[in-house]
Structures are given as C-alpha cells and as structure tokens.
Structure 1
Amino acid sequence: MRILQTRDTMSDIYLAAVKIRNQVFVKEQNVPLSVEIDENEAYAVHFVLYDDKKVPLATVRLLPINDEIVKVQRMAVLKEYRGKGLGKTLLKGAEDFAREHDFKEITLGAQWQVRDFYHKLGFIPQGEPFYEAGIKHITMTKKLAE
C-alpha cells in the first residue's frame, strides 16, 4: 500500500481521487456532482491510497481552515475494499501530513452511519447532527498537538 498526495487538480493522483469519489458519492449515495466537486478542490490536498499494483482504492482530502485547523473531507473507500482497514490507513496518513505541517486540530463532518469509525480513531462529536447533500452528518474533532 502506498499513499500519494497532490494539490494539482490536473494530476493523475487528483483524477484518481475524483474517480473514487464519483463512484462512492455520486453513484452509490446519489450526491449531485455539482455538490461533490466544489470550489475548494484547488485549495485542498488530495490523498489517494494505492495497492501494490498501483490501483487506487481510497481517497480523502484535507482542506486548511486556518493556520491551526484542517478539515477532512471526501473520505471514500471503494465498496469492494471496505472493511479491510484502508480508511484507517488513509486517515492516519492524512493526520501525519497535518501534524508535519503544524496543524493543531483536525475536524470533519462524519456521515452518521460511520461516526463510530471516526470515534474509535480519537475524534470527538461536537454539536448537533446536520444534513449535507441529504445525508445526516455530525461534526467531529481531534486534537493533533497540545
């Protein structure tokens, strides 16, 4: 397994991320493409987890909110690869990147049905549930440094 990252929205890494997101969010969850691809694409760091044969399996993006907080967005694992720890591996890689770039906190809007996944990885629920793209979410945060 290997995680690659990019900020270049013309790169093969970014295109692999979009392909995974399209499969998971647009096709499986019926999120409109106009919501899935947004104005923050060029500001985010896009991560893709590849298998040993260089097949892209999972993706996530990090969007800096300010100098101390970064937001996890668009976390997606292809259906046939779920339950194998890939999401955990990918999220750890994104967290390591955030720490290396001196972010102090990481936040995300977890889809309701996977909030326990994030909680087991140290994310704490914040506030009330909300709906985004017709899907129930909860804000969750994790301190990266004191």
Structure 2
Amino acid sequence: MRILQTRDTMSEIYLAAVKIRNQVFVKEQKVPLSIEIDGNEAYAIHFVLYDDQKKPLATVRLLPLDDTTVKVQRMAVLKEYRGKGLGKILLQGAEDFAKEHDFKEITLGSQWQARAFYQEMGFKATGEPFTEAGIKHVTMIKKLAD
C-alpha cells in the first residue's frame, strides 16, 4: 500500500481521486456531480491510497481552513475494498500530513452512518446533525496538538 498526494488538479493522482469519488458519491450515493466537484478542488490536498499493483482504491482530501485547521472531505473507498481497514490507513496518512504541516485540528462533516468510524479514529461529534447533498451528517473534530 502506498499513499500519494497532490495539489495539482491536472495530475494522475487527482484524476484517480476524482474517478473514485465519482464511483462512490455520484454513482452509488446519487450526489449530483455539480456539487461533488466544487470550487475547492485547487485549494485542497488530494490523497489516494494505491495497492501494490498501483491500483487506486481510496481517496480523501484535506482543505486548509486557516493556519491551524484542516477539513477532511470526500473520503471514499471503492465498494469492493471496504471493510479491509483502508479508510483507517488513508485517514491516518492524511492526519500525519496535517501534523507534519503544523495543523492543530482536523474537522469534518461525517455522513451519519460513518460517524462510528471517525469516533474510533479519535474524532468527537459536535453540534446538531445537518443534511448535505440529501445525506444526514454531523460535524466532528479532532485535536492534533495541545
């Protein structure tokens, strides 16, 4: 397994991320493509987890909100690879990147059914549930440093 990242929206890594996101969010979850690809693409750091045969299996992006906080977005694992711990590997890689770049906090909007996964990874729910793209979510936060 290997995680690669990019900010280049013309790169192979970014294109692999978009392909995974299209499969998971647009095709499976029926999120409109018009909101799945947004104005933050060029500002985010896109991560893709590849297997040993260089096949892209999962993706996530980090969007810096300010000098101390990044937001986890567009976390997706291809259906046939779910339940194998790949999400944990990928999220840990993104978290390590955030720490290396001196971010102090990670936030995210978890889909309701995924909140236990994020709790297991150290995130805490905050605030009331909300709906985004027709899907129930909750805001979650994890402190990276004191």
TM-score bucket (shorter structure): over 0.9
Task: State the match for 2:29 in structure 1.
Answer: 29
Deviation at 1:65, TM superposition (A): 0.3
**Aligned alpha-carbon RMSD (Å):** 0.2
Deviation at 1:28, TM superposition (A): 0.1
Return the alpha-carbon distance in structure 1 between the equivalents of residues 97 and 9 of structure 2: 19
Deviation at 1:5, TM superposition (A): 0.1
Task: State the match for 1:125 in structure 2.
Answer: 125
TM-score, scaled to structure 2: 1.00
Tell me the SS of whatever aligns to 2:35: helix
TM-score, scaled to structure 1: 1.00
Tell me the SS of whatever aligns to 1:102: coil
Return the alpha-carbon distance in structure 2 between the equivalents of residues 64 and 6 of structure 1: 14
Letter in 1 for 2:74: R
CA shift digits 1:77-108 (9 cap, x unpaired) = 00000000000000000000000000000000
Tell me the SS of whatever aligns to 1:10: coil
Task: State the match for 1:145 in structure 2.
Answer: 145
Return the alpha-carbon distance in structure 2 between the equivalents of residues 138 and 127 of structure 1: 7
CA shift digits 1:2-33 (9 cap, x unpaired) = 00000000000000000000000000000000
Question: What are the within-5 Å matches in structure 2 for residues 31-70 of structure 1?
Answer: 31-70=31-70
Deviation at 1:117, TM superposition (A): 0.3
Structure 2 unaligned regions, length at least 5: none
Task: State the match for 2:105 in structure 1.
Answer: 105
Return the alpha-carbon distance in structure 2 between the equivalents of residues 139 and 69 of structure 1: 14
Return the alpha-carbon distance in structure 2 between the equivalents of residues 36 and 120 of structure 1: 26
Task: State the match for 1:90 in structure 2.
Answer: 90
Identity across matched positions, percent: 82
CA shift digits 1:15-59 (9 cap, x unpaired) = 000000000000000000000000000000000000000000000
Q: Matched residue pairs, number?
A: 146
Structure 1 unaligned regions, length at least 5: none
Tell me the SS of whatever aligns to 1:58: strand
